């Protein structure tokens, strides 16, 4: 049980909030969700599920300039893909009228005022944490004047940045967020939901807690950087005398070799360092999905990482481990040869169908027939002309088993004028077919193959980490995170796949035996299937 669950269980035991649990996930629709958000989603929806409560999806859309419906749609899709369903869908912008009313209420009570200072003057007046700041010369305006100015701000009479509404709390708190914080700013901007109705927009601090309150949220879970905002969250709930949810902070997820700021991810997309938000190298949820991660593997990752009170950095290999672990259970096995060389079985004639197991972890997945012929493709790396004792795969005069087929013995090889191997010749032993009496004759290695005459060509996309540095933000003077981009993060090559591998189910996960986990990419066409490598079999 993590510390948040401890708090919740105590509240339930004490009958607080009518013994109900109601959480929310509050994304700002200004970009696509990433693996850090996935952790927050799993936490908020997971807690609601565990305690028979509810979890809302609330778009924190108070910053019209950067927000868009494209992001709203992608966020909903990603949450559902992760396997969660929100109880209610809300938008902070739906509360703009109520928030405005509450702002007038605070003005009436002498708890808010319109400040005409410039942004610079306001910052300067806040001062430094160790010394009290200075009060604004506009701080003691009459209630009537404040109301009149605030109404005119709303009506659009003043230009952007000319005035703000501030809470009248005091200028001496050691917490800078409490020094007469800004509640509203003037912004003549078009909002993706409210259109041109508003010329003023509430700040995060004047919108978030109240939105939680309106929705009856009991536990408002957020990341550590909001800890210093909590006194303000509490102050507004108390001053307005409204339902007061409890804000609880946890450490955000940080991954090495990974960028998780939406602004920087946006930069990668806009400058075309990647194919888009869903590029398989991106840490976005849609990127992970396209890469071949399963929802279960992402949920397992969030669970394994756990909930901490202190910031830390998680090794990205843990994410890969979680992918491998789940894919091993669900991926359909198939054979594919990515760096092919011809293998000719000189004493074999004709064609037969052999039986291949679809998933040894799941007997219900059954078997499939695969064609065996005289000419096969095998991996170039599975043969060595000159090999030491530790090389157990094919050498001249040596034996290996062909998976699901026979034991073969290499007799000789063909080379072209440049000395490149063009074909490997072997003989097979018919008594060693899988399932026959001699089939358990020991050989040191089993290799995969496909029938050359039947195999289909496919495009294979291999990925490496997008960044070379463990902390891409740790830059030399004059450099940015872009300077640590890995120029070799994407390799595209052709490979040979089993003919039975079709496009009917593009979401399907495959294990290319002995190589790794792959999934079909949406760039596939009827002529050529494109595969993304999700992760290798072993670290
Ligand atoms: P960014 O800084 O990348 O723009 P954000 O925190 O502004 O991210 P929001 O849309 O405001 O993004 O986040 C929605 C929710 O997800 C918030 O509750 C936030 O605390 C949480 N969240 C964001 N990033 C992480 C992370 N790395 N780990 C855990 N939770 C996160
Ligand atoms: Mg945010």
Residue 260 Cα: closest atom of ligand 1: 3
pLDDT of 503 reads 87
Domain shared by 235 and 350, yes or no: no
Across 26-51, average pLDDT: 98
For residue 289, tell me if it sits in a domain: no
Q: Which ligand is located closest to the Cα atom of residue 40?
A: 1
43 and 152 co-located in one domain: yes
Question: Is residue 26 lining ligand 1, measured as CB closer than 6 Å?
Answer: yes
* 266 CA to centre of ligand 2 in angstroms: 15
Q: Are 232 and 205 in contact (CB under 8 A)?
A: yes
Report how far apart, in Å, the C-alpha atoms of 59 and of each of 53, 102, 119, 266, 299 are.
20, 20, 27, 19, 22
The answer to whether the CB of 342 is under 6 A from ligand 1 is: no
- Ligand 1: which of 67, 220, 223, 263 to mutate, most ligand atoms within 8 Å of CB? 223
Query: What percent of the chain has pLDDT above 70?
Result: 100
Among candidate residues 217, 250, 283, the one where a domain is terminated = 250
In tens, the pLDDT along 183-209 reads: 999 999 999 999 999 999 999 999 999
Q: Is 255 exposed, middle or buried (0-12, 13-18, 19+ CB in 10 A)?
A: buried
Q: Tell how far the Cα of 34 is from the centroid of ligand 1, in angstroms.
A: 9
Domain that holds residue 195: 18-250
Ligand 1, closest atom to CA 265? Answer: 3
Distance in Å, CA 127 to ligand 2 centroid: 25
Q: Are residues 113 and 212 in the same domain?
A: yes
Residues 240 and 362 in one domain: no
- Confirm or reject: Cβ of 29 under 6 Å from ligand 1: no
Tell me, yes or no, whether 51 lies in a domain: yes
Looking at all shown ligands, the one closest to residue 26's CA atom is: 1
Closest CA to ligand 1's atom 23: 37
282 by Cβ neighbours in 10 Å (0-12 / 13-18 / 19+) ranks as buried
Residue 441 confidence class, pLDDT cut points 50, 70, 90:
confident
Which of 198, 216, 250 is the last residue before a domain boundary? 250
Question: Is residue 486 domain-resident?
Answer: no
> Best mutation site among 25, 26, 37 for ligand 1, i.e. most ligand atoms within 8 A of its Cβ?
37
Instruction: Judge if the beta carbon of residue 74 lies within 6 A of ligand 1.
Output: no
Q: How confident is the model at residue 507 (pLDDT cuts 50, 70, 90)?
A: low
Q: In angstroms, rounded to a whole number, what is the distance separating the alpha carbons of residues 133 and 176? A: 9
Strand runs labelled E in 146-245: 164-167, 182-186, 200-202, 219-223
Neighbours of 161 (CB within 10 A): 11
Same domain, 100 and 242: yes
- Report d(CA 109, CA 240) in Å as an integer: 10
Clarify whether residues 62 and 195 are in a common domain. Answer: yes
User: CA-to-CA distance for 277 and 283, rounded, in angstroms?
Assistant: 9
How confident is the model over 458-504, as pLDDT tens digits?
A: 999 999 999 999 999 999 999 999 999 999 999 999 999 999 998 88
For residue 465, being part of any structural domain is answered with no
- pLDDT tens track for 168-188: 999 999 999 999 999 999 999
Q: Which residues are catalytic?
A: 28, 252, 262
From first CA to last CA, the distance across the chain in angstroms is 30
C-alpha 534 to ligand 2 mean position (Å): 29
Tokens of 134: 């200075």
Exposure string of 341-365, with b = 16+ CB inside 10 Å and e = fewer, is bbbbbeebeeeeebebbbbeeeeee
Q: How confident is the model at residue 506 (pLDDT cuts 50, 70, 90)?
A: low
Question: What's the CA-to-centroid distance between 204 and ligand 2, angstroms?
Answer: 9
Alpha helices in 109-166 (DSSP H): 119-126, 143-155
Q: Answer yes or no: is the C-beta of 27 below 6 A from any ligand 1 atom.
A: yes
* pLDDT tens readout for residues 123-163: 999 999 999 999 999 999 999 999 999 999 999 999 999 99
List the Cα angle 469/474/479 in 5-degree steps: 95
Taking CA atoms, 102 is separated from 48, 108, 152, 163, 242, in Å, by 29, 10, 16, 19, 10
Query: Is there an atom of ligand 1 within 6 Å of 58 CB?
Result: no
Which ligand 1 atom sits closest to the C-alpha of 41? 16
H or E element, residue 286: helix 285-291
322 assigned to some structural domain = no
- The answer on pLDDT for 437 being more than 90 is no
Q: Of all atoms in ligand 1, which is nearest to the CA of residue 221?
A: 18
Our CA dihedral for 472, 177, 226, 8, rounded to 10 degrees, sits at: 170
CATH number at residue 201: 3.40.50.620
Nearest one of 32, 484, 477, 74 to 260, comparing CA atoms = 32
**Six token digits for residue 263:** 């602004």
User: Residues 232, 372: one domain?
Assistant: no
pLDDT tens for residues 371-426? 999 999 999 999 999 989 899 999 999 999 999 999 999 999 999 999 999 999 99
347 and 227 assigned to the same domain: no
Distance 405 CA to ligand 2 centre (A): 57
Ligand 1 atom 9: the closest Cα is on which residue? 27
218 and 345 belong to one structural domain: no
Based on the fold, state whether residues 246 and 340 are members of the same structural domain.
no
Residue at 303 is within a domain? no
Mutate to test the pocket of ligand 1, among 40, 57, 61, 212 (most ligand atoms within 8 A of CB): 40
Residue 144 phi/psi, 5-degree rounding, is -60, -45
Q: Which residue has the tokens 């035991």?
A: 13
Contacts of 538 (CB under 8 A, 6+ apart): none
CA dist., res. 214 & res. 211, Å (int): 5
Where does 166-218 have alpha helices with state H? 204-214
Domain membership of residue 469 (yes or no) is no
**Are 340 and 246 in a shared domain?**
no
Counted domains in the chain: 2
Cα 332 from Cα 311, distance rounded (Å):
38
Mean pLDDT of all residues in the chain? 96
Tell me, using a 6 A CB cutoff, whether residue 189 lines ligand 1. Answer: no
- Pocket of ligand 1 contains residue 261 by CB under 6 Å: yes
Whether residue 262 has its Cβ less than 6 Å from ligand 1: yes
Distance CA 377, CA 342 (A): 5
- Model confidence over 91-120: pLDDT tens digits? 999 999 999 999 999 999 999 999 999 999
pLDDT over 80 (residue 539): no
User: Taking the model in full, what pTM does it have?
Assistant: 0.95
The confidence score (pLDDT) of residue 68 equals 87
Q: Is residue 71 domain-shared with residue 168, that is, in the same domain?
A: yes
Centre of ligand 2 from the C-alpha of residue 34, in Å:
13
- The rounded radius of gyration (Å) of the Cα atoms in the chain is 31
What's 362's domain CATH number? 2.40.240.10
Q: Is residue 424 part of a domain?
A: yes
Rounded Cα gap, residues 355 and 36, in angstroms: 43
pLDDT, position 439: 72
Distance (Å) from CA 379 to ligand 1 centroid: 44
Task: Give the separation between CA 523 and CA 73, rounded to whole angstroms.
Answer: 21
Q: Is 251 in the pocket of ligand 1 (CB under 6 A)?
A: no
Q: Which of 250, 279, 295 is the last residue of a domain?
A: 250
């Amino acid at each position: 049980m993590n510390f948040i669950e401890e708090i919740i269980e105590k509240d339930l035991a004490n009958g607080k909030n009518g013994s109900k649990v109601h959480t929310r996930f509050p994304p700002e629709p200004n970009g696509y969700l990433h693996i850090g958000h996935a952790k927050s989603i799993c936490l908020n929806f997971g807690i609601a599920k565990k305690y028979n409560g509810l979890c809302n999806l609330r778009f924190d859309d108070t910053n019209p300039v950067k927000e868009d419906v494209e992001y709203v749609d992608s966020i909903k899709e990603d949450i559902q893909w992760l396997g969660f369903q929100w109880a209610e869908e809300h938008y902070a912008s739906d509360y703009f009228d109520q928030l405005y009313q509450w702002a007038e209420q605070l003005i009436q009570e002498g708890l808010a005022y319109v400040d005409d200072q410039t942004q610079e003057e306001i910052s300067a007046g806040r001062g430094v944490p160790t010394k009290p700041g200075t009060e604004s010369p506009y701080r003691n305006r009459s209630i009537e004047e404040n109301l009149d100015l605030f109404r005119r701000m709303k009506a659009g009479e003043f230009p952007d940045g000319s005035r703000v509404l501030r809470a009248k709390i005091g200028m001496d708190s050691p917490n800078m967020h409490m020094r007469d914080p800004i509640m509203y700013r003037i912004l003549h901007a078009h909002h993706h939901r409210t259109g041109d109705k508003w010329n003023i927009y509430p700040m995060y601090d004047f919108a978030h807690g109240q939105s939680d309150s309106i929705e009856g949220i009991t536990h408002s879970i957020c990341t550590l950087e909001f800890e210093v905002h909590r006194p303000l969250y509490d102050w507004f709930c108390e001053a307005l005398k409204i339902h007061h949810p409890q804000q609880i902070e946890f450490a955000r997820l940080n991954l090495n070799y990974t960028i998780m700021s939406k602004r920087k991810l946006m930069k990668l997309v806009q400058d075309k360092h990647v194919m888009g938000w869903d590029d398989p190298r991106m840490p976005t949820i849609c990127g992970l999905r396209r890469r071949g991660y399963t929802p279960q593997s992402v949920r397992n990752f969030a669970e394994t990482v756990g909930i901490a009170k202190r910031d830390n950095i998680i090794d990205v290999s843990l994410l890969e481990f979680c992918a491998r672990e789940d894919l091993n259970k669900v991926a359909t096995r198939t054979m594919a040869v990515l760096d092919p060389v011809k293998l000719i079985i000189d004493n074999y004639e004709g064609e037969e169908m052999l039986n291949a197991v679809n998933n040894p972890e799941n007997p219900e997945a059954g078997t499939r027939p695969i064609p065996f012929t005289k000419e096969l493709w095998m991996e170039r790396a599975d043969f060595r002309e000159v090999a030491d004792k530790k090389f157990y795969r094919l050498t001249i005069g040596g034996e290996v088993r062909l998976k699901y087929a026979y034991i073969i013995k290499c007799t000789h090889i063909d080379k072209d004028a440049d000395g490149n191997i063009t074909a490997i010749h072997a003989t097979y032993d018919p008594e060693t077919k899988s399932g026959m009496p001699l089939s358990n004759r020991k050989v040191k290695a089993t290799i995969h193959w496909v029938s050359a005459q039947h195999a289909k060509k496919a495009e294979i996309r291999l990925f490496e980490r997008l960044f070379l540095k463990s902390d891409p933000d740790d830059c030399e003077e004059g450099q940015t995170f872009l300077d640590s981009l890995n120029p070799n993060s994407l390799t595209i090559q052709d490979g040979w796949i089993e003919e039975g591998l079709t496009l009917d189910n593009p979401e399907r996960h495959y294990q290319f035996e002995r190589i790794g986990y792959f999934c079909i990419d949406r760039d596939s066409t009827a002529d050529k299937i494109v595969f993304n490598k999700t992760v290798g079999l072993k670290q």
